[in-house]
Each structure stands twice: as structure tokens, then as C-alpha cells.
Structure 1
Amino acid sequence: MPHHTHQADPSRRTFHPSERLGLHRLPPAAADLVLLGDLTGRYAAGSYSRLGSDGQTVVLREDRQGAAEHGHRITAAIACHVARAGGTVDELTRLLLHPDHEGGRHARHIALRSGQARALDYIRRVWASASTAVDSTRALGSRHEAYEVLAALRDRIETTPWRGERGRTALRVLRAHLNFAETAGGPLHHASERQTAEEAGVSRTTLRVVYETVLKPGGWLRRLRVGHGREGSTWYLADGNAPASLSRFRTTQYPPDPALEEWPTPETRAAADIDSTVISRLMGHDAFAHHGLGSSALMIIGALHARPAQTIGELVGSASVSRATAYRTLRRLADHGLVHHSGETWILAPRALEGFGTSLPDAVPAPTAPPAQGWDAVAQQYGTAGVAAQRKALHAAERSAYREALERLAEHRGKAMVIVRDGGQVLVPAPRPDEIPPAWHAPGGCVLDPVTGRPDAEWRVATDGRLILITPSDQRSYDELAAAHAEALSEWESAA
């Protein structure tokens, strides 16, 4: 028979994920994630693996925190890619449950361990979250486009009225997140609550209140993932298009508009005009703490820096403050020589942004406080000096305690039983087969080899005196190690 060219069976051809979807808009990186999994360790932050020093391989972490978290991140990333490409939940299910796709290992493991129904329910939940995230976010194609989005967001923040003390505090928190987003290069960024509170110059309690009552309902800020371990929360900055549903933001406790001779409404009131960059520079200082100059002074300074020589009526609109607050705040700033007025217009002092005021008796009669000599001096006069340092010290102590608790969890330390004897508590540790004599303990938590007397690098001692094996080749849990030790001891006794 004549020789003919061999043709492959079309039923055995390997399909690309984009072909399986029936779409050609799936990015190559997403297709590789589906087929090959997370080869670069991009989604392994905070999980059991990390990117090696060579930048190519994925190695196990010293402290394993669970493969499930890593697998869930890969699954969520694939779901977002499919949702952005216009796919469906059924197409995502076929991708994840295909036996040749490494990216669906986590979903297939759930199906194998808990059943097909549980895996399908998990995929539907991931798809719902991914669809919501894709619908409410914008895909940025370049770093330049990301900076354009952040610049537009900054302009919108500066022209939005932030009414009341809570609104002004929300501006400080939002401006802190904008600083983090500019550093990260896009609306998606990472920050902890403590880090944000220190940047904005507020307490964590105040930060949570304004997030839940102002920023989240208003569509300005959304927490995509709560921080865990040494990682901060994942946040996304939006444009604030969601309408405010709280009545406090539609209150009529505002001064009337002179031109309209009526109380302003959301349609007739003037837009704000502040320089939020100046506010972000000053808001973390002790002088602008709650019992100091406060957030209203930040708004007045930001408004006068954006547009000098404003009247009280103009500041009411540009700084989003009431007339009484404007008078009270300007009087405070004038006492320190930080602002001056000529007739009905107000301007900043030449070095007001550095906290240095000038005494002008003609412009500001009868000052009640000496001219300011820096923001530290202003904080001393109001008794708020050291507030930021105390807040940072408190946060450092909280981080230390939290990290110590994480280390205890990483060492798989078991809880000791507590009994009460003669009115006192007595700790009775549970008997475990892997407890070692105190003579085996070495400095640094290492274990001394009883034969050679040298520390064994593959073992570590927890503070409760039990062995923890730390090797890349054996990542069994604490209970698994204890069971293996007990089994080996039983076999040894049976053989003896």
C-alpha cells in the first residue's frame, strides 16, 4: 500500500481553554493558569508556598498555612478571568473539573473529599463573588491608565462635599487609601486597619465607623478580602456613585444660599473645591487630632490653598462646612497667625503649611494665642502632642501579640487543660508521645541529638516542650506527627 501521512484523531486533540469556552478573549496568562496552575507563585502570598530566590520555582514556606487558601485564590482568579471574558458558570465548572487542568485541582479535591454537590456549590459561590467583582471594577490595561483613573478619582474626591464631622473624617480615611493606591499603582491595593489609622490620624474604632457608615454605603471603598496573618486587607477604590442612604447626609442644618435665598438642596448646593494633597500631608500630625485643630481646620486649609482669598460664604461651599464651623475654625487659625483676612476675604499665611504663623495686629486684632512656631507647638498648646506616637506604640504592641499568637498556631501547640485546686488554677498539659526531656533543648528552639550532642536542623521545640518537624520533604501536621510516633512506638514494642 502506498505510504500516507498519519492524521491525528480529532477527538483526542487537546483544546485550549479559550476554545473550550467558545471564546477567544481569554488572555494567555489566564489560559496558562487554567492549564498549568500557579507556576510563578503569584497567588501563593500568605499560603503554604512562595516564589523561590531564582524567581522561577515555587518552594514551600517554613510555616505552612494551608494549601486550601492557595487553591482558593487560583480558583477565584480563574473565575474572574472567565467572568471578564463573558463566560458562564457552566463553562467555569467544565474548566475547573477537567482532569487535565492543573488550575482546577482545588475544586476537584473538594469533589473527591466532600462530593460533587459540595464542589458545584463551592464553584457557584466563587462565581457569584467573581461576577460581582468584575461588574463593579474596571480592567486597567497599563500603568499609565491606572494613574489616569486615580487622578480622576482624586478630582472627584476634591469636588465632593464632605458634610459634618463624620464626613470630614471619612475624607481623611479615603485620602489615606488613595495614598496607598497611588503607591500600588492602581485602585486595587493592600492596607491594614492599623496602617490606615496611622496614615489618617484617627483611631481604628473611628476608621471602622466611617467605613461602614460613609465610605462603603457611598460606593467609595470596598474591602475585597479581610487581612490575615502578616498581610493587610485587600481594598478597591471606586468612584463613589452609590447614593448615600443615610438621612444625616441630607440634613437641612446648612446656612442658606444668599443668591437663592433658600436652604440648599443636593441639586443646588455648590461643589466643594479643596486640595486633598495638602490634607494628606497634614492629617497625620498631632495638631489635627480630635481635640486639636480637627478635621474642619484641614478642610479650611485645603480650600484656601486650592483657591486663595475666599469669603466666609465661599468657604461654606468649597470646604463643605457650616457657617458657624467656618467662623470658629478661622478664628482658631487666625489666633495662631496661620490665616489672615483683609475685609471679607481670607488667605493663608506665607508659611502656614509648615505650621508657622505671623502676627499681623492690623489684620487680626487681639490674638488670644501667640503665633504658631510649627505644628508641634500647636499640638503642645492643645494638649494633643504625642497622640500619633501613642497610637503607633499601641499598634506595635497589638501586632507583636498577634504575631506571637500566629507563631503558636504555626507550631501546632495544643491547649493545656486547666483544673482548679485549693482556689487556684493549675495547668495540666495533655500527655503527648512527642514530649522530649529538657536536656534535649538547645538555644533558639533547636533539638539536641542525644547521640552527637549537636543541634538537629530538621527539628524544632515549641514552648510547650514538644517536637515540631520542619522539612520540605515532610509537611505533616502536628497531630499526624504524634500519630506516626505512637504507631512507630507500638510497632517497636510489638517487635520487641
Structure 2
Amino acid sequence: MAPLSLRDDLTVPHHSHQAEPKRQTPHPFGRLGLHRLRPAAAELVLLGDLTGRYATGSYSRLGSDGRTVAVRPDRAGAAEHGHCVTAAIACHVARAGGSIEELARLLLHPDHEGGWHARHIAVRSGQARALDYIRRVWASATAVVAGTRALDSRHHAYEVLAALRDRIETTPWRGERGRTALRVLRAHLNFAETAGGPLHHASERQTAEEAGISRTTLRVVYDTVLKPGGWLRRLRVGHGREGSTWYLDHGSAGGPRGSASLSRFWTTQYPPDLALEEWTTPETATTADIDSTVIARLMGHDAFAHRGLGSSALVIIGALHVRPAQTVSDLVSAASVSRATAYRTLRRLADHGLVQHDGETWTLAPRALDGFGYSPLDAATEPGTRPAQGWDGIAQCHGTAGVAVQRRTLHAVERATYQEVLDRRAEHRSKATVIVHDGRHVLVPAPRPDEIPSAWQSPGGSVLDPVTGRPATDWRLATDGRLILITAADQRSYDELATAHAEALREWNSAA
């Protein structure tokens, strides 16, 4: 790409333009492209980041304990803050259909506060270095805009999520891994609907609990199906108490296939005799028809865990809920399962009285979505049928009862252990000395001048005032015996601290 060249009018101070004859334009900076931007974007260009929205994570960072704030150097914080503002302006220009030349004009104009970072680079390192920086920012912005969509309102966001739900329900999810990917994707759709848009936050443990699977299976599905297939993008890895930032997309044209080398995502069963003309194509069709809302409602039950009814029962129940009275051939296409899997799953559901058949067609029981099968009178006509009395009873029958509770308990222990590690790191613990005495390892604690006497510690773990003997609300006791002072500033949120720092810096620069 050839270096961008600036014309003379890009570096001339603004007062020279005021001497020119007035032009009949709807906006005083119309020739610079501000009239094509949204009002919020134009305000960001002209006035800069007044509210400190783009200062998050620039001047200070939230500690791993979620309570303390570490201040960054002023120069590094200002540079990162300026880069965030520059990237936001580039995204606004790209979304409005602008060009890199228009972006350079907006950033290098002396009266535009939003471009101070690019102008600072030009003054410090030269104009060529500033243009090269603008070029890199523009490349990133165009890539981001091309891969996302602008949501004008919350209603528009729900329309996008509804279209995504329709795409999920009509996409064939073949194989056991594909059906597991459907559960994970439906869990993320639940999070996105709660967040109000495709951009949402979720941790691996939270998603695994929602989908009713293990974290190991979740990671395999992420890496082999959803990420390669274009359904999910991880924008930021979670840390501490914050989950990862995800973006839901509509997937690639190839559906959940992901990598072409993973042939297990596609069925390989063909008619045993082509002369019978049972199928002229692979068993499962290129479209599906299921109700993902029903799947999202049921997938967390122990009855659908591994070694239980499984994911195949979920998709068949979802297909029968959309369109009752389907034949096995219809379910092969609608649920994207093989004929053998359809027969095996239907028989398993029929054993619990959750489905019934009339000739060649199958339908759900009246209370099948609640886990209740036929009544004993109805079930008497079906030999071997054991009418289910709820999903817990089915889980007991398959030996999967309590799997969800065990998973949540394990995740709670992992979270507590991880948080303890973060707390120790936040407290800057020093390693104790270990010596060997008479063949035994003896722990020698490091001397600490700030350790408090035992008389100052209450049985509940709080700090007692040595004068009054009452708990001191401004102090707390760390797990290593050190005192930690809690001030009023520590009670502010991270965004409030970042905004206050940005306002103080702006006032200082104005006074200077």
C-alpha cells in the first residue's frame, strides 16, 4: 500500500480557513466528513472523550481481587486512552462508508480534540510515522466493521438475535459433537438475549453449567466446531471475576462443519441398495427444523447428560415440538440425525412414555416437556413402557441424577481456589523460608513488621480497635496476618475511578 500523502490544507491551522468565503454547507466542518457521522461520533471527534468512556483500562487497572486499583504511569495511560479514542473514530468513519483520507483529515485537524493522539505522534515522531499509525488503525477498524453489524436500538438487537435463532434452528447439527455444539451455542444465545445484543460476557464454567456438559467437552466444541464455523468469537479472555467477552455471529455458509478435514461432522450412511431409491443424497438434508427454545429449557436437566437420554433426544423432542406427527424419515431431516440414531432415540423415549406412534408417525406425549409420560392406563397398551414421573425420575433410571449438582459444586470449589490465589497475589505475599532440620522440613515464616497482635483480632476475623475494643470498619485482616486499609476511594467502581482520573487530567492540561 502506497504511503498516504497529506495535502497542504490538512496541516494548516484552522484560523486560515476562516478567512475563506463562507460555503453553504449544512455543517461548518462538512468538507471534513463530520456531517456523515452520527452526532455522538461527531462529538467524539470535535470534543474528545468528555465522559471518560474510552478511558476504561487506560490510566488504571482493576486488581485481581476485584477491589483494589493499580495506577498506571501517566504517559502509558494517556497513550492507551488516545489509541482507544482513535480506534473508535476509525470505526465510526468506516461504518459511515468513509475513506482513510477522510480519517486522516479528521484526526490531524488542529481543532479536533479527538485526534490529539495522532497529532502527538506526528509532532514527536514525524508525519510519516503518524500516517503509518493511522493506516494500521484503519486496517483494524475496517476488519472489525466488516465482521460486525451496527445495532441502532434494542429492538434492532432483538431482531438480530431472532434471526440468529432462526439460523441455528434451520442449520443441521450432525453427529454427537454437532448436537453438543448446538447446546453450547444455545447457552450463549441465552446470555446474549440477557445482555441485549450479540456482544455478551460468559465464563467457561457458566456456559458448561447452562449447557449441561463438562468444561473439557466445552473446550473441544469451541475449538473444533463453533470458532472455526464462525458462530462464536472470543474478543477478550476473562480474568478474575470477569468472564470472557464473546460475539455471536451467523456462522459460515458451511454450517457447523468447521474444518473440512473433520469428516465426522457429516453423515456417511447411504442407502444399502441404491435400487431401492430410499435416499438419493446423504441421509440428513441440508436444512433442519427444530425448536431451540425447548432445547435450551431442557438441556440443563440431568436426564440429558452423557449416558442419559443425550443430545439426540433433545433435538428429536425439539423437532417433534415444532411439527408433530413426523415419520422417521422426516425426523432424519428435521433433527439432522441418522436413521439408526432416530430409531434408537425414539425407542428410548417411548420406553419412558414421552413419545407415542400411530402407524408410521410419532408425536410427543401431552406432558412430555415436563418429563411426564403416559398415564398407567395409556401405557398399558405399550409393552415395556415405564411412564416417567418427571426428569428427575428419568435421571435416576439412567444413573445420571446429581450430575449437574456435582458439576456446580466442582466449579464452586475451582472458583474459590482461583479467588484465593488471586487474593494472595493481591496481598503481595512473600514466600516463607523452608529449612531441613533433623530430616524434617521446617517452615520459618518471614518477619513482618506489620503483623498485628492477636489481641487485635476478633473471633470473626475483623480488626479490633486497641483503644475502644470495637471492630474497626476501615481496616480488615488479610489471610497472611497483614492489615489492609479500606478507604472511601476503594468503594468506587472501576469506571468511576477511570472517569475521575480522565477529568482530573483534562483539568490539569487546561490549567497548564
Same fold, judged at TM 0.5 (above): yes
Secondary structure of the residue that 1:310 maps to in structure 2?
coil
- Aligned residue pairs total 453
Residue aligned with 1:230, SS: coil
Q: Distance in 2 between matches of 1:338 and 1:363?
A: 10
1:376, distance to aligned residue in structure 2 (A) = 0.7
Q: 2:68 maps to what in 1?
A: 63
**Unaligned runs of at least 5 residues, structure 1:** 1-7, 51-60, 476-496
1:235 match: 246
Change (3 A) 1:416 1:429: farther
Measure the CA separation in 2 of the matches of 1:97 and 1:420: 63
Q: Within 2, Cα distance between the matches of 1:447 and 1:273?
A: 62
Counterpart position of 1:335:
351
CA distance in 2, matches of 1:100, 1:464: 54
Distance 1:108 1:447 in 2: 52
2:370 counterpart of 1:354: yes
**Pairing of 1:22-37 with structure 2 (within 5 A):** 22-33=33-44, 35-37=47-49
Tell me which residue corresponds to 1:143: 154
Paired residue secondary structure (2:434): strand
Moved more, 193-202 or 242-251: 242-251
> What does residue range 365-384 of structure 1 map to in structure 2 within 5 Å?
367-384=383-400
2:479 is matched with 463
Contact (CA 8 Å) 1:38, 1:103: kept in 2 or not? no
Residue 118 and residue 345 in structure 1: after superposition, are their counterparts in 2 closer, same or farther (change >3 A)?
A: same
Equivalent-residue separation in structure 1 for 2:119 and 2:464 (angstroms): 42
Give the alignment's TM-score, normalised by structure 2. 0.73
2:269 partner letter: Y
Equivalent in the alignment of 1:264:
281
Q: Please give the per-residue CA displacement for 1:316-348, whole angstroms capped at 9, x wherever unaligned.
A: 110111011001100000010000111111111
**What amino acid is aligned across from residue 264 of structure 1 in structure 2?**
T
Determine if the alignment matches structure 1 residue 253 to structure 2 residue 258. Answer: no
Q: For residues 460 and 130 of structure 1, do their structure 2 counterparts lie closer, same or farther at Cα, with a shift above 3 Å needed?
A: farther
Partners of 1:252 and 1:263 within 8 A in 2 = no
Instruction: Determine whether 1:419 maps to 2:434.
Output: yes
Secondary structure of residue in 2 paired with 1:224? strand
- The change in CA–CA distance for 1:355 and 1:93 in structure 2 (over 3 A counts) is same
Offset from partner CA, 1:171-230 (integer Å, 9 cap, x none): 000111111111212111111111111111111111111111111111111111111222
Indicate the SS of the match to 2:163: helix
Identity of aligned residues (%): 69
Q: 1:114 to 1:425 in 2, by over 3 A?
A: farther
Distance in structure 2 (CA, Å) of the matches to 1:283 and 1:341: 24
**Aligned counterparts, 1:211-226, within 5 A:** 211-226=222-237
Q: Contact 1:303–1:318 (CA<8 Å) still a contact in 2?
A: yes
Decide whether aligned partners of structure 1 residues 456 and 374 sit closer, same or farther in structure 2, where only a CA change above 3 A counts. closer
Residues 410, 309 of structure 1: alpha-carbon distance in 2 compared, 3 angstrom cutoff: same
| d(CA) in 2 for partners of 1:467, 1:12 | 61
Match of 2:36, SS state, is coil
Is 1:405 the equivalent of 2:417? no
Equivalent runs, 1:52-451 vs 2, <5 Å: 62-65=67-70, 71=81, 76-86=87-97, 128-243=139-254, 244=257, 245-246=259-260, 247-248=262-263, 251-256=266-271, 261-262=278-279, 264=281, 269-358=285-374, 367-411=383-427, 413-422=428-437, 423-427=439-443, 435-438=450-453, 441-443=456-458
Shift of residue 308, structure 1, vs aligned partner: 0.6
Deviation at 1:410, TM superposition (A): 3.1
Counterpart contact for 2:456–2:465, Cα < 8 Å: no
Question: Residues 469 and 97 from structure 1, CA distance in 2 versus in 1: closer, same or farther, beyond 3 angstroms?
Answer: farther
Which structure 2 segments of 5+ residues have no match? 1-12, 19-26, 492-512
Secondary structure of 1:24's aligned partner: helix
Q: 1:91 to 1:224 in 2, by over 3 A?
A: farther
Amino acid at match of 1:204: R
1:39 equivalent in structure 2 = 51
1:241 positional shift: 2.1
* Residues 369 and 265 of structure 1, relative CA distance in 2, 3 Å threshold: closer
Residue 253 of structure 1 aligns with an amino acid whose one-letter code is T
Aligned counterparts of 2:43 and 2:251: Cα–Cα separation in 1:
35
Distance 2:217 2:195 in 1: 25
Q: Tell which has more relative contact order, 1 or 2 (C-alpha 8 A, sep 6+).
A: 2
Give the alignment's Cα RMSD to 1 decimal. 4.5
Tell me how far apart the structure 2 counterparts of residues 472 and 221 of structure 1 sit (CA, whole Å): 40
Hey, what's the Cα distance between the residues in 2 that align with 1:326 and 1:293?
Answer: 12
For the 8 Å contact 1:436–1:465, the answer to whether it is kept is: yes
1:203 to 1:64, Cα distance in 2 relative to 1, 3 A: same
Mean Cα deviation higher: 138-147 or 413-422:
413-422
Opposite residue 337 of structure 2, the aligned amino acid is V
Deviations 1:233-255 (A, max 9, x none): 11111111253323325645234
**Contact 1:359–1:371 (Cα < 8 Å) also in 2:** yes
What code does the residue aligned with 2:386 have? P
Length-normalised TM-score, structure 1: 0.76
Q: Would you say the 8 A contact 2:33–2:102 is kept in 1?
A: no
Q: 1:319 to 1:181 in 2, by over 3 A?
A: same
Q: CA deviation at 1:473?
A: 7.5
Aligned mates of 1:377, 1:17 — CA distance in 2 = 72
- Secondary structure, aligned partner of 2:392: helix
